[in-house]
Amino acid sequence: MSLDLDEVGRIVYTALGEDLGDPPRDVTSEATIPAGQVDTAELVARADGVVAGLPVAREVFAATSGGAASFEPRVAEGDRVRRGDVLAVVTGPTRALLTAERTALNLLCRMSGVATHTRKWADALAGTKATVLDTRKTTPGLRHLEKYAVRTGGGTNKRMGLYDVAMIKDNHKLAAGSITAAYRLVRETFPDVPVQVEVTTRAEALEAVEAGATFLLCDNMRPALLREVVEAVGDRAELEATGNLTLATAAEYAATGVDYLSVGGLTHSSPILDIAMDLRAR
């Protein structure tokens, strides 16, 4: 579940820049709080959920305090927490704490919301062979953090972008003339890149595996059709169900024998986990 600290730094820098302007300043904190004042704050869950993003919040406080703030996690990444639980304790210059507050919470709440939603899917698939996957339907600029949050919540990343996995979808099939032609062209051009093929019928699934595909996205197939495809393909390819999946139907789709369920909603529709920062009374 590692984070790329360079990528975290870029995101934190951009997010703080949105809040602080140019030249950077927090006019309220600068006007009301003495420069030398030091306080302690707690990051507190306001709802039950799964935590992700504490290392990112720590980087925000470090950035605003010039490294002077101490950050003490009270829970681990991926832990389930209850409303009222203290997630971390931060001590440092009061101005820096309040300057960091919204940016740290925006990122922590977002990431924890994704992890919480993902955990619900992982729990729904427990006891089956299926794993929940994310998609590229991420918030622009936050993909690295959101996909990390998916992993923290018990899901798996399918691909990071257009560069690491070739995915032949409907428009590629139309442009190339057929599944077979598209697959051949990708293999010839990028022989070392994994290839996934989207299919919508049993016939397309068979064409794809006969062309050499070993990973199929079964798009918007009902469970009965998925079972037919699983039986027809056998162990020649891994199969993923995708399209209009819900938590209520997750177990039904997993029971067809597919290996994965991909859920764009993990990143595009997860509500935040409500988390607040409370200064301790002086």
pLDDT bin (cut points 50, 70, 90) of residue 281 is confident
Q: Give Rg (Cα) of the chain.
A: 23
User: Is residue 221 pLDDT above 80, yes or no?
Assistant: yes
User: What pLDDT score was predicted for residue 282?
Assistant: 76
- The share of the chain scoring above pLDDT 90, in percent, equals 98
Architecture of domain 123-268: Alpha-Beta Barrel (3.20)
Average pLDDT for residues 199-224, to the nearest whole number? Answer: 98
C-alpha dist (Å) from residue 120 to 89, 214, 220: 27, 28, 21
User: What pLDDT score was predicted for residue 131?
Assistant: 98
Query: What is the secondary structure of 48-77 as a DSSP string?
Result: -EE---HHHHHHHHHHHHTT--EEEESS-T
Mean pLDDT of the chain, nearest integer = 97
68-100 tens-digit pLDDT: 999 999 999 999 999 999 999 999 999 999 999
- Identify whether the C-beta of residue 60 lies closer than 8 Å to the C-beta of residue 67: no
Fold equal for 5-113+271-279 and 123-268:
no
User: What pLDDT score was predicted for residue 278?
Assistant: 98
CATH of domain 5-113+271-279: 3.90.1170.20
User: What pLDDT score was predicted for residue 105?
Assistant: 98
235-262 tens-digit pLDDT: 999 999 999 899 999 999 999 999 999 9
User: What pLDDT score was predicted for residue 4?
Assistant: 95
Strands 86-93 and 38-45: antiparallel
Domain boundaries, the chain: 5-113+271-279, 123-268
- Identify whether the C-beta of residue 148 lies closer than 8 Å to the C-beta of residue 175: no
Q: What is the DSSP letter of 85?
A: -
Residues that are catalytic: 102, 137, 169, 198, 219
- Identify whether the C-beta of residue 39 lies closer than 8 Å to the C-beta of residue 61: no
- Identify whether the C-beta of residue 56 lies closer than 8 Å to the C-beta of residue 106: no
- Give the predicted TM-score (pTM) of the model: 0.95
125-153 tens-digit pLDDT: 999 999 999 999 999 999 999 999 999 99
42-54 tens-digit pLDDT: 999 999 999 999 9
159-210 tens-digit pLDDT: 999 999 999 999 999 999 999 999 999 999 999 999 999 999 999 999 999 9
User: What pLDDT score was predicted for residue 238?
Assistant: 98
Q: What is the DSSP letter of 249?
A: G
Tokens of 103: 């940016």
User: What pLDDT score was predicted for residue 1?
Assistant: 61
User: What pLDDT score was predicted for residue 87?
Assistant: 98
